[in-house]
Amino acid sequence: MRESIAIIGSGYVGLTTGVCFAELGNKVICVDNDDSKITKLKKGELPIYEPGLDSLLKRNISEGRLEFTTAIGDASKKACVIFICVGTPPKENGEPDLSAIENVAKDIADTSASYKIIVEKSTVPVSTARWLNDIMQKYMKTDFDIAVNPEFLREGTAIHDFMNPDRIVIGTDSKRAYGELAELYKPLNAPIFHTDINSAELIKHTSNAMLAQRISTINVIARLCEKTGADVETVAKGVGMDERIGRHFLKAGIGYGGFCFPKDLDALIHILRENGINAGLFEAVREINFDIRDHFAERVTERFSQSGGLKGKLIGVLGLAFKPNTDDMRLAPSIDIIRKLVSEQATIKAYDPKAMENSKKLLDIEYCSGMDDTARDADALLILTEWQDFKDMDLTKIKDLMKQPLIFDGRNIYNKQRMQDLGFEYYTVGSGT
Ligand code: UGA
């Protein structure tokens, strides 16, 4: 067995990091203050849906490399390297709430009896690690080093992303901490970028902000395509062929959701403003992202205004999660779109392969057992998440089940010519049709 590692905070990032480090042969102890979550995890049950995580969790528990606890003391006694992966939710003003990090830092200090490497993995504004260092200086009774090691994994492909990173960023002034962390990541065979702590924090925020910016850019162009008859898929392909730009994150749709991009953009805007720097670029990215949801709902409303409005119309929604292969509904575009259509008095029924339980806490609509059930007697179908099941569905059967063959596709998953041949009235994002 290799290193002994502690992970504080067993949310998306913490849990994936812990399970994957265990899979790499380390002894890992994961901590969370949520009792029910830890009870579940101890039994090998996941509190979230993430493809492949389930079997890795069970295997590493049964092979004795992975354990769970609610007591930080259990972790800080056993491990030398402690990753802080707790949540940093936004306050009203967009500034992230760092109180969880502060509490964890004090608990680590209280319970540590030997040298520790404290690794900040939570996404935080630049200079947070310096502040963390000040707290540790004040409370820690033993030697310690601070490092920043941002995580770039995506929900839905978290294990693959952890195991196959484009780069590993390690920000630290300490040779010892760098050496230990580089050794931990060695089995991944990925480039390691050693930086100072502030730059490492800013690499993470800038990465998410740039990815969000690309999505809003292509979504604005999509609007122009709709007006002019150009096709956004063709535009994105042609633009992405420029190696300086690249083809990733140019998929037009109903905007980004999830907890990361919105939260991190808010935090970046806040810290730019605090430093007296114009944050207009990212404010526009954020505004466009919300406009695009309204615009999609308005296109549906407009289409129905030709036939008596949305009142009493039955709209089937396929896809609720903010992206496929997750059950995460946080800030999903589907929420705003469905609420808008409900306010126009449409009746909504919806289906998502994994996110319906989480959706029920947010949206009081009818939930369906599958795709056929969603299509049955519907006046229109909306595609809001690009699950593979929807891409593969039997469209001829779906057409027969619907009251009229009308689809609004917020993710552009079908071939337009094929849909026309099948007799659908088919609206996509970013094309004249
Ligand atoms: C994002 C980043 O991609 C990760 O690198 C980062 O680690 C993570 O945030 C985080 O900070 O924790 P995630 O939010 O899980 O990951 O998922 P993405 O695949 O980035 O998708 C985010 C949203 O953008 C989704 O709603 C997706 O539908 C949308 N999107 C993505 C588009 O609308 N168009 C695209 O071309 C790509």
pLDDT over 90 for what percent of the chain?
A: 95
Q: In 315-408, where does DSSP find H-type helix?
A: 333-343, 356-360, 371-375, 388-391, 395-401
Integer Cα distance of 323 and 354 in angstroms: 11
Average pLDDT over residues 72-76: 92
Gap from CA of 273 to ligand 1 centroid (Å): 24
List 30, 85, 260, 368, catalytic entry: 260
Whether residue 433 is predicted with pLDDT greater than 90 in this model: the reply is no
**pLDDT confidence of residue 307:** 87
Gap from CA of 154 to ligand 1 centroid (Å): 6
Helix (H) or strand (E) holding 409: strand 406-409
* Cα 12–chain centre separation: 9
Helix (H) or strand (E) holding 254: none
Known active-site residue 20: no
- What are the tens digits of pLDDT across the range 328-368? 999 999 999 999 999 999 999 999 999 999 999 999 999 99
- What are the tens digits of pLDDT across the range 26-45? 999 999 999 999 999 999 99
Whether residue 292 is predicted with pLDDT greater than 90 in this model: the reply is yes
Average pLDDT over residues 12-27: 97
Kindly state if the Cβ of 259 falls inside 6 Å of ligand 1: no
Gap from CA of 349 to ligand 1 centroid (Å): 26
Kindly state if the Cβ of 153 falls inside 6 Å of ligand 1: yes
Gap from CA of 110 to ligand 1 centroid (Å): 37
Neighbours of 392 (CB within 10 A): 10
Nearest CA residue ID for atom 7, ligand 1: 152
Nearest CA residue ID for atom 23, ligand 1: 256
The token duo for 123 is: 């996404």
Whether residue 374 is predicted with pLDDT greater than 70 in this model: the reply is yes
What does 29-41 look like in DSSP terms, one character per residue? EEE-S-HHHHHHH
- The best mutation among 49, 121, 206, 211 to test binding of ligand 1, ranked by most ligand atoms within 8 Å of the C-beta, falls on 211
406 φ/ψ angles, rounded to the nearest 5 degrees: -125, 120
- The best mutation among 323, 335, 411 to test binding of ligand 1, ranked by most ligand atoms within 8 Å of the C-beta, falls on 323
